[in-house]
Amino acid sequence: MFAAKKGGHTGTLDPMATGLLPICFGEATKFSSLLLGAGKTYEATLRLGYTSTTGDAEGEISLAPGGNREEELALPQVEAVLQSHTGLIMQKPPMYSALKHKGKPMYVYAREGVEVERQSREIFVKDLRAEAISNDEIRIVVECGTGTYVRTLAEDIGRALGCGGAYLTALRRTVLGSFSLSHAFTLEAIENLPLNERDHCLLPIDHLVKDLRAVRLNAMAAASLRQGRKVENYSCDHSLMEEERVRLYDEENYFLGLGEVTAQGEIAPKRLLNLVSRPH
């Protein structure tokens, strides 16, 4: 749809999941890996008292042990359990995941009925709150760090609530790093645009690194940097720390790429755009 010579996504979603998926084209693919560790926000719906082989509606559903409870959940009880699952917590990755074991994704073993031993890992859940509670369903919003499996979080919440477990009936990613679903476009919307208007949907490359501090170089320093040399003639609004990564611009405010501060206070090139990619 964009006639791009090169493109790549910034992390997969579960088959059932919907929502935000940033796509990088051309030179932007050099910086897509920076989003792998970015924070994420999800909207999820949990069905309590049932379990799924995959942790979501894609799997085989069965009644959880002790899942046929009759008393309704009170909001304070739910909030207390959600609070206990925030911060730094341990989580065991699910079998239905893309994590590798002996060179093969875990889900390959899961589909063959093979259970592989997994070690629990530390994850970070910044915020976890209930949006709605209705009968055996809870709708939650999760703000979390990389490596968090919301499916596993749902199962743990269901057990902590005394429901025997839970599985996801819906999962939607709304935020990834500095990107928000509210600014995204559906594939259908892009397809319906005339070819000459589609580029208006694209963000500039430096949007990927806008959380880094900006450094500006004069013409001579920019030329030296492009030749792979460290530079010391630069301007920045703040003092920089050793090993700090910064986004680099020339005198015309054109984005050059990323640099890193050395122990001597110089800027070393780390990942630069090709000169030929500069627009006229």
Sign of CA dihedral 184, 19, 7, 214: positive
Here the tokens at position 22 are 């940033």
Give the position of tokens 């069905």.
Answer: 47
Largest CA distance in the chain: 74
**Helices 75-84 and 150-160, packing angle to 10 deg:** 130
Residue in 14, 136, 206, 250 annotated catalytic:
14
Residue 206: active-site member: no
Whole-number Å distance between alpha carbons of 109 and 96: 8
What's the one-letter identity of residue 95? M
Give the position of tokens 């920076």.
Answer: 34
Whole-number Å distance between alpha carbons of 265 and 1: 44
Active site residues: 14
